[in-house]
């Protein structure tokens, strides 16, 4: 693993699993704070939450998504990172 990308398996949209812990480690290495949470007390459509902020995304950056599944949160997070030109899959 290096600062340009993590050894994540592949993009979730390509049908492969993405190791959430590895992605969180990569984001932390980039100086980001990351929260990945499941909350059984929330309604089914919003039980999963991801927050990513700071670090290489910028001091004023903040991303949060609340969705129905861990996979949906992961995909939304990867899409957001790529939209900012910040991807663990960059070579």
Number of domains in the chain: 1
> By C-alpha distance, which of 90, 47, 43, 87 is closest to 67?
47
How many Å apart are CA 87 and CA 41, to the nearest integer? 32
Residue 88 lies in a domain: no
Residue 71 lies in a domain: yes
* pLDDT tens string 57-83: 887 889 999 999 999 999 999 999 999
> By C-alpha distance, which of 65, 75, 58, 90 is closest to 17?
75
Structure tokens at 91: 């070579």
For residue 12, the model assigns a pLDDT of: 45
* pLDDT tens string 4-25: 454 444 444 444 467 899 999 9
Spatial contact of 87 and 28, defined as CB atoms under 8 Å apart: no
Range of the domain at 31: 12-83
Strand partners, 51: 35, 64
Residue 7 lies in a domain: no
pTM of the model as a whole: 0.77
């Amino acid at each position: 693993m290096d600062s340009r990308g993590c050894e994540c398996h592949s993009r979730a949209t390509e049908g492969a699993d993405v190791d959430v812990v590895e992605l969180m480690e990569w984001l932390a290495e980039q100086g980001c704070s990351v929260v990945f949470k499941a909350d059984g007390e929330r309604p089914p459509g919003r039980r999963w939450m991801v927050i990513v902020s700071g670090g290489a995304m910028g001091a004023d950056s903040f991303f949060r998504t609340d969705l129905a599944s861990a996979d949906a949160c992961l995909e939304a997070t990867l899409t957001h990172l790529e939209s900012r030109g910040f991807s663990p899959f960059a070579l």
